[in-house]
Structure 1
Amino acid sequence: MAVESQAVPQLELEAVIGFNGHVFSGLRVHPDREHLIYPLGSTVIVKRIKDGKPAFLDGHTNNVSCISVSKSGQYVASGQVNFMGFKAPIIIWDYAQQTIYTQLLLHKAKVEALAFSPNDKYLVSLGGQDDDSIVVWNIETKEAICGSAASAQSSGLCLTVQYSNMNDNIFVSAGSGTLRVWELDLHNRKIRPTECKTGKLKRTVKCVEIAEDDQFIFCGTTSGDIMKINLKTGLLRDCGPVKAKYSLGVSVLRLLKSGHLLVGSGSGTFTLCSSTNFKTVKEVQLEKGVTSIAVRGEGQQFFVGTEAAQMYRFSYENFKAELISTSHNNPVKDVAIPFGTSELFATCSEEDIRLWHIDKPKELLRITVPNMTCNALDFMFDGHSIISAWNDGKIRVFAPESGRLMLVIHNAHRLGVTAIAGTRDCKRIVSGGGEGQVRIWELQPHGHRLLETMKEHKATVTCVKIKSDDTQCITASSDGACIIWDIVRFASLQRMIANTVFRTVCYHPEEYQVITSGTDRKVAYWDMYDGSTIRELDGSQSGAINGMHISQDGHHFVTGGDDKLVKVWDYMEGVVTHVGIAHGASISSIKVCSNNRTLVSTSADGAILRWKFPHPSAS
């Protein structure tokens, strides 16, 4: 990857849509008050609040699991998940340079939480359930000072750590039946815990916030109440609210300079309450569970992140939720751009289809079919409908302006609909299914009719493309075959076979050749008339090529796959002209706009990236 990306010019990234809302306290405001910091797949994104301009901290090999920002703003630390049996690295970033300051490696499988000491001297890290140890690191020497088991054998898992606001030697850890105040003895290289005494209260603590003067610890619990504990004595001072506990537990807490407490719950309730008696002052209900609260400056403004990958902005004065960013919180399966326009595009992920404005990456429409998965989608040629393929075996047709359901084709495919395309005259749909069948449907004013079922593929149909005169189509399948079909006489004309699982196929605009890609990491050019291979290119050094698209003038094509790289190719030369490095997970689909200005790619971490296409049309 490094060799390939160094020699080739890099693509210019214009916008990023995506946020991993499942990382607790993953959304942070940098002390400069100008930037938001948050995880997306294996990348940490630094986004300017004013204009949304993104920068990337790219160095993790798997999903980022926690983030911490030092009080001075000089450092950002991020930990990741790794596979069982492997160590999970922590990266400390130099914020100003946006480069890796150091990598720390001790924890197994996952880094659960991170916290910087108040004067940037130390970083404390907590391992996940396979590790359950706490380590204190010296930031200057980049080495571990000491470590310890996070919780006593009689108690459960430790879930979070928080540093004192005034003392570099004191921090707090908490979790299931465990709440400890630790003191660092630097001279003897030891950390010594003191158990907090909560009496008969047995709680699982999800999050911890320490008062600015280090007098009290506030602990949000899965039972929906907040414990207030004296940091010096370790004694329980108060527990509330007594009557109305927070539904689905308290997942995140933030103390404001005003003395009020911001509380986010698993049910999506976001509350401003008193830190003395826990009485609610203001409350808002959000769409899904709150996982992050980031306070900007003195607390006049704050940002809230939810499990549904939404970001909201609040002001202290009016406490109204302003939705500033939405994104998919599951892998994006497909992207489609309507023909002849470059203002919109649509994506599908799990149960929803979303329509976006291409210039301002803003969600215009969301179509949801609960508990189903949309596998593929396309715009009809006239732009008046979106056709979509679903895992329940149905084809659903929606209106792109309103999201209204215009048509459902029931039992379209027995093992789910996996690929779909519409003809240019907008009168027929060609669909492929999990059982390998290719079906042609006629759209009628008040319904539809099945014209033909063609059975030659032995496995899932992964891609369908239709020739511009609507007489032929080509289908790619996991069985290692691509078949060209006559869709007037309903017969197979040509078969191309390779030792691969085909993922995509594209007609060259002049339609004398097609190109294919799949798990063999090759891009193959095929002759349409005799089905012979014309040339093969090494499309990727690692992993399958999952998405491919040819520009409308036929001079260039783009690919993306498991190597997380967006590549722009010269069609005739067969060489990569530009590489895009920003995705944190496998690229699932990729499209070039018809005006050759913009390129949109999507990935398995829910991200949608918009790039400047480097070869604009001559016109």
Structure 2
Amino acid sequence: MAVETRDGPQLELEAAIGFNGHVISGLRVHPDREHLIYPLGCTVILKRIKDCKQEFLHGHTNNVSCISVSKSGLHIASGQVTFMGFKAMIIIWDYVQRSIYAELQLHQAKVEALAFSPNDKYLVSLGGQDDGSIVVWNIETKQAICGSPASPHSAGHCLTVQYSNTNENIFIFMFTSLVFFGSGTLSVWELDLPNRKIRPTECQTGKLKRIVKCIEISEDDRFIFCGTTSGDIMKINLKTGLLSDCGPVKTKYSLGVNVLRMMKSGDLLVGSGSGTFTLCSSTTFKTLKEVKLEKGVTSIALRGEGQQFFVGTEAAQMYRFSYQDFKPELISTSHNSAVKDVAIAFGTSELFATCSKEDIRLWHIDKPKELLRITVPNMTCNSLDFMVDGHSIISAWDDGKIRVFAPESGRVMLIIHNAHRMGVTAIAGTRDCKRIVSGGGEGQVRVWELQSRGHRLLETMKEHKATVACIKIKSDDKECVTASSDGACIIWDIVRFVSLQMVIANTMFRTVCYHPEEYQIITSGTDRKVAYWDVYDGSAIRELEGSKSGAINGMHISQDGKHFVTGGDDKLVKVWDYMDGVVTHMGIAHGGSITSIKICSNSRTLISTSADGAILRWRFPHPSSL
């Protein structure tokens, strides 16, 4: 269903590849045991475990920073980040209706953590470093009951909160003070409902000074377990507020303890910043089982009684474990840094490829599952393209090399060394699959001939003064257009290697496209305008306001030429009518700047990528008449 917004119909989001693994405890299992809940950008995703079917909760205006699920499963709460000086929203979702139950706004800049009371009566929220307050909300009335500064200290900020498992009026909240060598204070807060106050009692840890990153309370509320940046776990008696134990003594967890989860058996699941994931005794802290995962563990979610559990990492990976064998099963992968470009295999709408830091990944369009990963350690792929015959992927890298890979196996077919001295920034292949046109950070455009045993540089064209951001080749392989951050778009004859036309604007061009009939080009960039130009004389035909805020980074035209799409720093996917120059549909889901956007050749699907690592698949609203 397309939902009406202030700007017209909203695009239907069909699938999302991505998971914000940096949100601590962002991955949750719903009490119905059937759905995973996790954040991606400004969207909360519900993913059915059985068949991976996704549903999307839209309402946040910026990245989701924390998630909590009520014990009954009736409500989900999510908080977000926003800009300094603005209030950060908390949304309570009605899980059954998949709709917004309440929008709560008191915290400034960021909501750090959320926790439901055991009987779903209250929600407690913590503000981030620039807010420093704690608020208790009545879920039924949707109003704040009371609030308080999180700590009397003037420095430091709150990191996490956990509600008592048995008492509606008690929650534990950890405040990290930056004074006195980073010592932390742990407070047990009690809700005084008649007086609308919350009163803290500080726990005593004696001479042991630690910065606590996470807390977990035993099911009977006897003990609080605190994971620290030092890599050990403090055990505190909840009734007395006194330190009971601390361990392990010898082999501490490297890069600190990020997340703790208590099993029904009483044992602890521990996730560390180095990727070590262990099951340990809550009495002796002795490791019982251990595995090493890729990058830091940030989420542990138990399913039901804990016979099965799910783990999320900073590498944006999700794993499934069973308690019995404790072996990781990788169930979801995604980029954990900015996606730089997306390319769709020519003539098919089944395969597409994305690139980012260190890797290129191939995906099947109908199933958001990674088919192949091509890794080049410590390098960033800036741009990529499929050759028309489907036999190779050409790619542009920041180490100045062009790499050509086989899409089936990922093996290297060709490396062009020293292609550009300031990194290769843009790339395109001709229809006859015999040549590659590349652009570099220094502004040069180069044409390469592919040979059976290597390659040959045909020509270097040097009119651009800054980074070449985009290259498109005409269907007859005789001309191409390049867009540069120097404010020029140049149409080149790539048979005689001369410039035919140059268009100049007061902008840093980011993207350019030929209209399918190839008599016009459209451009966009940092001036937020979409401009139409005549190919033959370089004259400006039309200018549209493409975005109210931020550069436009990606643009693509449908095969019939009737519509085009844009995406940029405003995080909005826009579908335009080419002749009328108006937005027909808008997509709101990205939490980061949109970096690239493509329409599939069947004009049924649209793929957009963003700086937060997300890849989103939308239903294209204008099926092709071709």
TM-score of the pair, normalised by structure 2: 0.93
1:293 maps to which of 290, 300, 304: 300
Equivalent residues in 2 for 1:357-368, closer than 5 Å: 357-368=364-375
Structure 2: unaligned runs, 5 residues or longer? 177-183
> Do structure 1's residue 194 and structure 2's residue 166 form an aligned pair?
no
Rounded to whole Å, the distance in 1 between the matches of 2:425 and 2:206 is 57
What secondary structure sits across from 2:379 in the alignment? Answer: coil
Per the TM alignment, residue 4 of structure 1 is displaced from its structure 2 partner at its CA by: 8.0
> Do structure 1's residue 74 and structure 2's residue 81 form an aligned pair?
no
1:428–1:440 contact (8 Å) kept in structure 2:
yes
1:65 equivalent in structure 2 = 65
What secondary structure sits across from 1:107 in the alignment? Answer: strand
1:309 equivalent in structure 2 = 316
Equivalent residues in 2 for 1:42-53, closer than 5 Å: 42-53=42-53
Rounded to whole Å, the distance in 1 between the matches of 2:575 and 2:156 is 51
Shift in alpha-carbon separation, 1:572–1:107, aligned structure 2, 3 A? closer
Per the TM alignment, residue 618 of structure 1 is displaced from its structure 2 partner at its CA by: 4.9
2:7–2:586 contact (8 Å) kept in structure 1:
no
> Do structure 1's residue 497 and structure 2's residue 493 form an aligned pair?
no
In the alignment, residue 83 of structure 1 is paired with which amino acid?
F
What secondary structure sits across from 2:378 in the alignment? Answer: coil
1:98 equivalent in structure 2 = 98
Q: Deviations over 1:234-283 (max 9, x none)?
A: 12222222333222211111112222221111111111222222232322
In the alignment, residue 538 of structure 2 is paired with which amino acid?
G
Rounded to whole Å, the distance in 1 between the matches of 2:377 and 2:399 is 11
Rounded to whole Å, the distance in 2 between the matches of 1:504 and 1:194 is 58
In the alignment, residue 61 of structure 2 is paired with which amino acid?
T
In the alignment, residue 29 of structure 1 is paired with which amino acid?
V
1:463 equivalent in structure 2 = 470
Rounded to whole Å, the distance in 1 between the matches of 2:27 and 2:372 is 25
1:334 equivalent in structure 2 = 341
Shift in alpha-carbon separation, 1:145–1:420, aligned structure 2, 3 A? same
1:175–1:206 contact (8 Å) kept in structure 2:
no
Rounded to whole Å, the distance in 2 between the matches of 1:574 and 1:274 is 64
Rounded to whole Å, the distance in 2 between the matches of 1:9 and 1:43 is 18
Rounded to whole Å, the distance in 1 between the matches of 2:142 and 2:625 is 53
In the alignment, residue 133 of structure 1 is paired with which amino acid?
S
Rounded to whole Å, the distance in 2 between the matches of 1:198 and 1:155 is 20
2:484 equivalent in structure 1 = 477
User: Size of the alignment, in residue pairs?
Assistant: 618
> Do structure 1's residue 249 and structure 2's residue 280 form an aligned pair?
no
Q: Which deviates the most, 205-214 or 145-154?
A: 145-154
In the alignment, residue 262 of structure 1 is paired with which amino acid?
L
1:112 equivalent in structure 2 = 112
In the alignment, residue 256 of structure 1 is paired with which amino acid?
M
> Do structure 1's residue 424 and structure 2's residue 431 form an aligned pair?
yes
1:42–1:60 contact (8 Å) kept in structure 2:
yes
Per the TM alignment, residue 564 of structure 1 is displaced from its structure 2 partner at its CA by: 2.8
Q: Deviations over 1:370-417 (max 9, x none)?
A: 222221111122222211112222222222222223333233223322
2:174 equivalent in structure 1 = 174
In the alignment, residue 247 of structure 2 is paired with which amino acid?
G
Q: Deviations over 1:311-334 (max 9, x none)?
A: 111122222211111111112111
2:215 maps to which of 195, 208, 214: 208
In the alignment, residue 118 of structure 1 is paired with which amino acid?
P
> Do structure 1's residue 121 and structure 2's residue 121 form an aligned pair?
yes
1:56–1:582 contact (8 Å) kept in structure 2:
no
> Do structure 1's residue 347 and structure 2's residue 348 form an aligned pair?
no
Per the TM alignment, residue 9 of structure 1 is displaced from its structure 2 partner at its CA by: 4.0
Q: Which deviates the most, 523-532 or 372-381?
A: 523-532
Rounded to whole Å, the distance in 2 between the matches of 1:562 and 1:398 is 31
In the alignment, residue 356 of structure 1 is paired with which amino acid?
W
Q: Deviations over 1:448-471 (max 9, x none)?
A: 332222122222211101112211
1:503–1:546 contact (8 Å) kept in structure 2:
yes
1:158–1:178 contact (8 Å) kept in structure 2:
no
1:161 equivalent in structure 2 = 161
In the alignment, residue 397 of structure 2 is paired with which amino acid?
W
Aligned-residue sequence identity (percent) comes to 84
Please provide the CA RMSD for this pair.
2.3
1:608 equivalent in structure 2 = 615
Per the TM alignment, residue 508 of structure 1 is displaced from its structure 2 partner at its CA by: 2.1
Per the TM alignment, residue 171 of structure 1 is displaced from its structure 2 partner at its CA by: 0.9
Q: Deviations over 1:429-461 (max 9, x none)?
A: 111122222111222333333222212222221
2:343–2:386 contact (8 Å) kept in structure 1:
yes
Rounded to whole Å, the distance in 1 between the matches of 2:31 and 2:603 is 40
TM-score of the pair, normalised by structure 1: 0.94
In the alignment, residue 80 of structure 1 is paired with which amino acid?
Q
Rounded to whole Å, the distance in 1 between the matches of 2:570 and 2:421 is 33
